[in-house]
Structure 1
Amino acid sequence: MKTLSGRWLFVPFLFIILWLTGCEGDDPGQPPTSPPQTATATVATPTAAVVEQRPENFYLIATDAPSRDGTFTDIDEFGTLVGYDAELMALLADQAGFEYEFVVTNLNGLFPAVAAGEFDMVMGALIIEDQPPEGIVYSEPYQELGQMLVVRANEIAIQGPAGIGPGMRVGVVANSPGEATARSVLNVADADLVLYMSAASAAQALVNGDVVAVVLNHMDAAFYTETYYQQLKIAGNQTGRNAWLSSRAYGIAVAAENVDLLERLNGAIEALQSQPDYSQLQMNWLARQVAIVPGESLIGTPSDEVVIGTTQALSDLDPAATVPNLLSWEVKLNTMTGLFRFDADNNLDPVLVEFINVQDEGLIYTISLKPDLTFPDGSALTAEDVQFSFLRAIRQGNFLLNGFLKDSDDDGFADTDSIELLGELSLRLVLDKPISYFTSVLATTPYFIVSKDCFPEGLAETSTCGGLGPYLIKEWLPGESLRLEANPDWPGRAPATPRIQIRFYPNSEALRTALENEAIDIAWNGLSRAEGAELEAGTFLGWNGPTVFKSYLVLVEDDPEDPPAERSPWNDPRVKQAIAMSLDREALASQIFGESRIPLYGPIPDGVPGYAEQTQTRNLEEARVILQAAGYSAGDPLSFTLHYLNDGRYTALEGEYAALIKAQLEETGLIEVTLEGAPWETFRPGSSSCEYSAFLLGWPPVGQPANFNDGMYWMEYFITNTERVCSHYESEQMAELLVQAEAADAMPDRPEARYALYAQMQALWATTLPTIDLTQEFSYALTASTVSSLRIDTMGLLRYDTIGKQDPSG
């Protein structure tokens, strides 16, 4: 059956500009004040030739185009009639078995022509009247649109029309039945009526708090209140037609005598309304389902979703990115993985690896992948994806690959053949030198595996492809939210909570408000310990993770290649020992930072793989003996300036912290300390150029995670980069231990030899003091009482798959 739904006819008489009356974008009886710009059409009544040419089972349909918003009828750039009516008639004709053609004409005064048989029907968003024009009948409604009052989800005052009063701003779609309803049913004055160009714009305004309510057609209202139920609802929580403030029914006009056509139309309308095509057509034209930015929940969080609030920014979702942003690494850890992966208990899991063999004294790693692993895009994870992922990161200049894999020409970029394919599920990695902890490095973000079918070769910072991880990335609205869902193809332990949402807040005040209003379940990396203590006094819970940040003292020795005019006191190792002995780390931690810090006596924080316990008791008497032996006295004390950051980059307590260090040192009676605080822009060049004699620093740098989860990360930099650190530390014994530790047994299930060497390095650290480590800070999260479990790893990353939540109603 040939259906001419895409064709329409210009009748060649009078040329006029047309406007549709009675459609969703119209207010009947209110003609436009200016002509539409999209199309013009000709017409009057059709010629006799047109009428006589109609064959049997062919109908001529009068319509008007374009409608004000193009919803029911419009003319596209190719001159084709489009819109809800045009597509609906195609379905009706197919259902009833007839052919047709549209004639674009002016509907004013057209009904007599239909009654006389010059047209067979009129379809132009006609509102069914109680009393049709003479000689005309209407079909059964092919569409009904009710108008509903939508309010914010936490609204309690507005339960219906009676809740709308003077001075209350109400939003509507301009020139829509909703506008007419707001005026006639709600009695909204012009000054209080806010006009929007679309239902999405009106809904967004309501979410933003620009209006107290909006009037939408029932399909738009259903979409926005069901999709964004945490933000919007129907006033009074009414449902169905009971919530309709007004309604309009749209039908097709035919001649009263044309009973056969009327019955065919009614039968087709009834049959069509139960078919999927009809529902899809409504969504395409009458309820466009345009997404909005929902903002935070106004009614608490769902029982099957954990909402995490943070003041940190999410910089990217590409593992090849070179900026080690703390939150970005955290999200990638929860949505991707490397060949190896640390679990929340610091166990190194070969999550993607079936077999590994380390050869040539630790230079070559032969790896076989587990079979039947699948990326979120549906593609299989193969050795080609591993090679593709590593080469992407290498080309971006990522140190964690270029600094470890073979670089035969020393150009700073790993060789492409350092990653060699051996088969579909096997490959070989070649290192530049033996690194015993390399499998720990393989567990870090730059080594995460992504699909070659989803990621480009270049950087894709905004990609939501993700990788093979505990969660799938469902939606990322930068600066607003990130939504994740549990990955059914994840080969590890299933996440404790099926859905995670991360919401981004501009400051700690907004974050705290969201937690107190139950819009989030967890406040993460944004509230101070003092704020946390206030909230913990109520119903909120505080969670300490491992210590992931250390504060240390750098004592700047003379650079041996640049003889100074005066010898630095720190060139005498006895003086550095006296400083270390004079400090009461327990008091520094507890008196200044309360429960947020504990003492640190060595370079590696507690709990990091390879940590060996170190202790040192404060001994002022021994410190005095050492200082006196070094030539200092009460009349000629050891004098130096201690520099520290005073801009809150570390904490707001750095001034008090430095003052207590000064007081402790001066208790010897042989030390005199001057304090000098500065902001980062002043402090950074002064410390990095070795201008300062002594200064306080923190590690890792603010906003960054540890590069990899191993004790070597906390030691190697301060041994091999002493000029950059400005300590100018040198120790042949320490250098030899470092070489031995890097060359130790590299098999991931045999770290004992490496850890034994780490213990020797930490013991030597306590006597030679590359740095004087002072305190270590816990990671910290504040949660609602419904959060039942939560784990933070030793890199300071929140493990989303460990977060459990109780149903408050249960």
Structure 2
Amino acid sequence: MKLNKLIFLIFLAVIFAGCSNDDKQSSDGAATNTNKDTLVIGLEAEPTSFDAHQLSDYNSSRAAMELYDQLVRFKDGSTEIEPSLAEKWNISDDGLEYVFTLRKDVKFHDGTDFNADAVKFSIERQIDENHPMHHTGQYAYADFTFGMVEEVEVLGEYEVKIVLNEPFAPFLSNLAMHSASIVSPEAVEKYQEDFTKNPVGTGPYKFVSWNPGVEVILEKNEEHFRDKPTISKLIFKPISEAQTRLAELESGNIDLIVNVPPDDLVRLEGSDKVQKIEDAGMHVWWTAFNTQKEPFNNVKVRQAFNYAVNKEAIVDSLLQGTGELANSPVPPNVWGHNPNVKNYPYDPEKAKELLVEAGYPDGFEVNYWIPESGSGMQQPQVMAAAIQADLAQVGVKLNIQTFEWGTYLDKVFVPIEEAEMDLHQMSWIGDNGDPDNFLYILLSGEQWPLKGFNDSYYNNDEVNQLLKEARVTSDKAERTKMYEKVQEIVMEEAPWLVLDYEKQIVLANPNLVDFKLHPTGVFRFSNAKIK
């Protein structure tokens, strides 16, 4: 009798325990996350690294950047600069010396002190091949961010001077980028190449664990000098299939998702089960041609492809308002954008004429690489199919080849002597609000992989010279003229098929409040709350 009573009491306890679970059922039967301490984010793909100095894709940055701080930061909602790990700074009249006074109240997540030595370490690790920790990573942004740095000098425990070898107009903005994050020297020395899986910064969140293919867990840093997050835990889940991400959001298992199919955005318009958060982004999407390889070393072939593709139909019918037709590599919300440059109109007859002039009257066959999903890649397979169909009409056969995101990046960003690709999809979200961050890093002949992200291996002497001059010119009006000219040349020579500027759109649980998107696309959760 006593045994039966004990079993009954255990049974009741299990029932009541289940009723008190954080993931409760709503009135319509859907699971709802009522845990105010945890936010679950559905990513498009597996992060590739958590070492801020090695980040090279949007997806990884969204998961990793709450772990780190930089000397200066972008203000919420803009790319204006404000103090961060540096309390103040002074720039010499000749623009060559930057002296930073650092905060004294900051510790890394491993308990070690932030100081001027850590700043020197974080820069020199990337740019000095003889640095004892240089071998611990590959730094795709190093040349772009710090290529003009001559010396980093420690003036005191909390004072550091950065000396440039020539004036560099965007330098302060560069110091707010992910590649300028300050990392723990002791952690890098401890973990070596595995620092990417054991990251230590000073940011508002601390790294807990990374179970590849399953989840990444971060927890709030109670001792952060600036931000005091309300949400205690962030869980990032890689879910490459868009419909699966959406189903997880609608069921309440995930609180925020990215890259929602346009058809579903239309369907969910006005729904009280999810909220749409939208903002303009510094984001351009294109197809890159290998300009150093036949047939795309012929400008007429590249121009023909641009005429052959009905870009407006893709933007209107497939993207359905989630992007706007692009006219240049620089988005309109970045200063220096040239509104007068014209993209190629849809003209398949003109495309055929150019192919004949280029020596391809019967067309040809090439391989078109695309990712299965990936950061900022919108609808890669659907868009590829539309481009494939348009080009078939002018006699070109595209063989679409699809790769997992990390594999895709490894295949695309290789030295020219290893490049196998004919053409591929890519997108870029601006890092610092400066046109240099689009035109130089993506189209300068000095930025071929692995030095930078010129994935078309484009090289034009006039463009190279204009971009170099613009970097050392302090007059913004003069810089604007140079960038406008570069956009004219680039669109004429067509190393890309430029398609659209994507809008930033995420869907979230209605209980998520005070979460705002940032122009750089990086997520900031410090001010967000769960009702």
Q: Is the 8 A contact 2:412 2:455 kept in 1?
A: no
Q: Which amino acid aligns with 2:172?
A: T
Using the TM superposition, give the Cα deviation of residue 679 of structure 1 relative to its aligned residue in structure 2, in angstroms: 3.3
1:755-809 deviations in whole A, cap 9, x for unaligned? 443233223323333323122333431112333443333443222235455x4xx
Cα distance change on mapping 1:583 and 1:401 into 2, 3 Å: closer
- Corresponding residue for residue 444 of structure 2: 719
Listed as ranges, the gaps of 5+ residues in structure 1 are 1-179, 194-211, 233-296, 408-413
Which residue number corresponds to residue 652 of structure 1?
381
2:156 equivalent among 423, 440, 452: 423
Q: In the alignment, is the contact (CA less than 8 A) between 2:256 and 2:509 conserved in 1?
A: yes
Write the distance in 1 (CA, Å) between the matches of 2:37 and 2:371: 40
Out of 165, 186, 190, the position equivalent to 2:7 is: 186
The CA deviation at 1:737 is 0.4
SS in 1 for 2:78: coil
Check if 1:400 corresponds to 2:161. Answer: no
**Aligned-residue offset at 1:438:** 2.5
2:62 aligns with: 330
Aligned to 1:757: 482
Residue pair 1:317, 1:466 contacting (<8 A) in 2 also: no
Tell me the alpha carbon deviations over residues 68-113 of structure 1, each in whole angstroms, 9 at most, x when there is no partner: xxxxxxxxxxxxxxxxxxxxxxxxxxxxxxxxxxxxxxxxxxxxxx
Cα distance per residue 1:521-570 (max 9 Å; x no partner): 32245x544445444464322333444654334455567xxxx8xxx586
Distance 2:524 2:466 in 1: 34
Deviations 1:462-495 (A, max 9, x none): 547540x3x2338446444524337564337x66
Amino acid across the alignment from 2:68 = M
The equivalent position to 1:386 in structure 2, one of 119, 125, 142, is 119
1:421 Cα offset (Å): 0.4
2:497 pairs with one of 768, 772, 783: 772
Report the AA paired with residue 155 of structure 2.
Answer: L
Give, as a single letter, the amino acid of the residue that structure 2 aligns with 1:698: M
d(CA) in 2 for partners of 1:677, 1:490: 49
Work out whether residues 55 and 178 of structure 2, in 8 Å CA contact, stay in contact via their aligned partners in 1.
no
Q: Aligned pair in 2 of structure 1 residues 643, 778: CA closer, same or farther (>3 Å)?
A: farther
Q: 1:771 to 1:310 in 2, by over 3 A?
A: closer
The residue number in structure 2 matching 1:743 is 472
Contact kept in structure 2, 1:643 and 1:675, CA below 8 Å: yes
Shift in Å at residue 743 of structure 1? 1.4
The answer to whether the Cα contact below 8 Å between 2:277 and 2:517 also exists between their aligned partners in 1 is no
**What code does the residue aligned with 1:587 have?**
A
**What secondary structure does 1:542 align onto?**
strand
2:357 equivalent to 1:616: no
Where does residue 329 of structure 2 map in the other structure? Answer: 603
CA deviations 1:629-686 (Å, max 9, x no partner) are 99759x99473445423663452314432145327xx5xxxx5333332334999589
Superposed displacement of residue 602, structure 1: 0.8
Q: Go from structure 1 to structure 2 and tell me whether the alpha carbon gap of 1:569 and 1:639 turns closer, same or farther (over 3 Å shift).
A: farther
Match of 2:41 among 290, 303, 308: 308
Structure 2 matches for 1:654-673, cutoff 5 A? 654-662=383-391, 671-673=394-396
Give the corresponding residue for 2:52. Answer: 319
Change in Cα spacing, 1:657 to 1:720, as seen in structure 2 (3 Å) is same
Task: Measure the CA separation in 1 of the matches of 2:170 and 2:92.
Answer: 14
Task: State the TM-score, normalizing by the size of structure 1.
Answer: 0.51
- Relative to 1, partners in 2 of residues 1:642 and 1:803: Cα closer, same or farther, differing over 3 Å? farther
> Which of 10, 22, 38 in structure 2 is aligned with 1:230?
22
Question: What residue is the counterpart of 2:78 in the other structure?
Answer: 345
Match among 518, 523, 529 for residue 798 of structure 1: 523
Shift of 1:736: 1.6
Give the superposition deviation at 1:440: 2.6
Q: State the secondary structure of the residue aligned to 1:443.
A: coil
The answer to whether structure 1 residue 699 and structure 2 residue 427 are counterparts is yes
Q: Could you say if the C-alpha distance between residues 474 and 796 of structure 1 is closer, same or farther in structure 2, counting changes exceeding 3 Å? A: closer
User: Quick check: 1:580–1:772 contact (8 Å CA) kept in 2?
Assistant: yes
Alpha-carbon spacing, 1:421–1:404, altered in 2? closer, same or farther (3 Å): same
More helix by share: 2
In 1, Cα distance between equivalents of 2:93 and 2:313: 50
State which of 395, 398, 410 in structure 2 corresponds to 1:675: 398
Partner residue of 1:733 out of 418, 442, 462? 462
In structure 2, the CA distance between the partners of 1:515 and 1:636, relative to structure 1 (3 Å rule), is closer
Which of 201, 213, 217 aligns to 1:482? It is 217
1:422 offset after TM fit, Å?
Answer: 0.8
**TM-aligned CA distance change 1:480 to 1:629, over 3 Å:** closer
Gaps of 5+ in 2: 25-29, 128-133
Q: CA offset at residue 720 of structure 1? A: 1.0
1:390–1:675: structure 2 CA closer, same or farther, 3 Å change rule?
Answer: closer
Alpha-carbon deviations, 1:708-745, whole Å to 9, x = none? 65432322232316876685644332122011012122
SS in 1 for 2:526: strand
**Contact 1:545 / 1:796 at 8 angstroms: preserved in 2?**
no
The structure whose Rg is larger is: 1
Q: Deviations over 1:400-443 (max 9, x none)?
A: 34665479xxxxxx98xx32101232212234655432223222
Give the distance between the partners of 1:423 and 1:586, measured in 2 at CA.
57
**Paired letter, 2:6:** V
Separation in 2 of the partners of 1:514 and 1:213?
30
Which SS does the other structure have where 2:319 is aligned?
helix
1:302 CA displacement: 3.7
1:15 corresponds to which residue?
none
CA distance in structure 2 between the aligned counterparts of 1:534 and 1:182, rounded to whole angstroms = 55
Paired residue total: 495
Q: Which residue of 2 is the match for residue 504 of structure 1? A: 237
Counterpart residue identity of residue 518, structure 1:
G
Larger CA deviation: 376-385 vs 434-443: 376-385
Instruction: Give, in whole Å, the separation in 1 of the partners of 2:335 and 2:190.
Output: 34
Provide, for residues 687-728 of structure 1, a one-character-per-residue CA deviation record: whole Å limited to 9, x for no partner.
976777x6342134xxxx766654323222323168766856
Report the AA paired with residue 490 of structure 2. Answer: W
Q: Which amino acid aligns with 2:237?
A: F
Percent identical: 19
- Name the structure, 1 or 2, with higher relative contact order (CA <8 Å, separation 6+): 2
Distance in 1 (CA, whole Å) between partners of 2:14 and 2:349 is: 81
Output the aligned Cα RMSD.
4.7
Cα distance in 2, alignment partners of residues 672 and 456 from structure 1: 56
Name the CA shift for 1:726/1:453 in 2 (closer, same or farther; >3 Å): closer
Secondary structure in structure 2 of the residue aligned to 1:679: strand
Tell me which amino acid in the other structure corresponds to 1:335: L
Q: Identify the residue that residue 522 of structure 1 maps to in structure 2.
A: 256
C-alpha change, 1:673 and 1:328, in structure 2 (3 Å) is closer
Closer/same/farther in 2, CA of residues 752 and 463 from structure 1, 3 Å limit: farther
Residues in 1 aligned to 2:261 and 2:36: alpha-carbon distance in whole angstroms? 27
Q: TM-score, normalised by structure 2?
A: 0.74
| Cα distance change on mapping 1:355 and 1:625 into 2, 3 Å | same
- Inter-partner Cα distance in structure 1 for 2:208 and 2:5: 40
Cα distance in 2 for partners of 1:709, 1:632 equals: 40
